[in-house]
C-alpha cells in the first residue's frame, strides 16, 4: 500500500530506483560508447551525461552530509544503488560514498580541463597556424625541422 508510506520514504524510494538505473543502465552504456569512440566524443557526453549525474548525486551527498530531512531532500545511501524491491539494509557508513562522489567529480574536472585545453589548442591552431607551429617548435624541437620555423 503506497498510501501508508511517509512522503519522504516514497520520494527516497523513487530516487533510489533512479540512482540504481543511472548506475546500472546509463553509466555503463555511456562509458562503453565513449570507449568505442576512443574518447573522441566524450566532449559531448561529459556535459550531457556525466556532469548531470554528478550534480544529482552531489545534492544527495550534500543532504546526507548536512542531515537535511525535509520530504524533498533525498539522501545518498548504499540502499540507493540496490535493485528496486530489494529490502536488504547494508549497515555501512555513508562516508565512502561521499569519497567516491568526490573522486568522481575530480575525474570529471580533470577530463573537462583536458578537453578545454584541446579545444583551445584547436582554435588557436586554426586562428594562427604558423604561430601555433612555432610555439610547438619551442616545446618540441623536432617540429622546427620539417617546418623550417
Q: pTM for this one?
A: 0.77
Q: What is the mean pLDDT of residues 76-89?
A: 78
Convert the pLDDT of each residue in 83-131 to its tens digit. 877 777 767 888 898 999 999 999 999 999 999 988 888 888 888 777 7
pLDDT at 4 over 90: no
What's the CA gap between 136 and 73, in Å, rounded? 51
Contacts of 35 (CB under 8 A, 6+ apart): none
Note the Cα 98 to chain centre separation in Å.
14
Whether 77 and 142 have beta carbons less than 8 Å apart is answered as: no
% of the chain exceeding 70 in pLDDT: 83
C-alpha distance across the termini of the chain, in Å: 77
Amino acid at each position: 500500500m503506497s498510501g501508508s508510506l511517509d512522503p519522504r520514504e516514497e520520494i527516497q524510494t523513487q530516487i533510489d530506483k533512479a540512482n540504481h538505473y543511472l548506475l546500472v543502465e546509463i553509466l555503463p552504456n555511456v562509458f562503453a560508447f565513449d570507449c568505442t569512440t576512443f574518447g573522441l566524443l566524450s566532449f559531448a557526453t561529459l556535459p550531457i551525461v556525466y556532469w548531470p549525474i554528478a550534480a544529482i548525486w552531489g545534492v544527495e551527498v550534500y543532504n546526507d552530509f548536512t542531515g537535511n530531512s525535509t520530504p524533498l531532500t533525498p539522501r545518498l545511501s548504499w540502499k540507493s544503488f540496490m535493485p528496486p524491491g530489494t529490502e536488504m539494509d547494508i549497515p555501512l557508513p555513508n562516508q565512502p560514498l561521499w569519497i567516491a562522489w568526490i573522486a568522481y567529480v575530480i575525474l570529471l574536472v580533470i577530463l573537462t580541463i583536458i578537453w578545454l585545453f584541446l579545444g583551445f589548442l584547436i582554435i588557436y591552431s586554426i586562428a594562427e597556424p604558423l604561430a601555433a607551429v612555432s610555439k610547438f617548435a619551442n616545446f618540441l624541437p623536432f617540429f622546427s625541422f620539417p617546418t623550417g620555423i
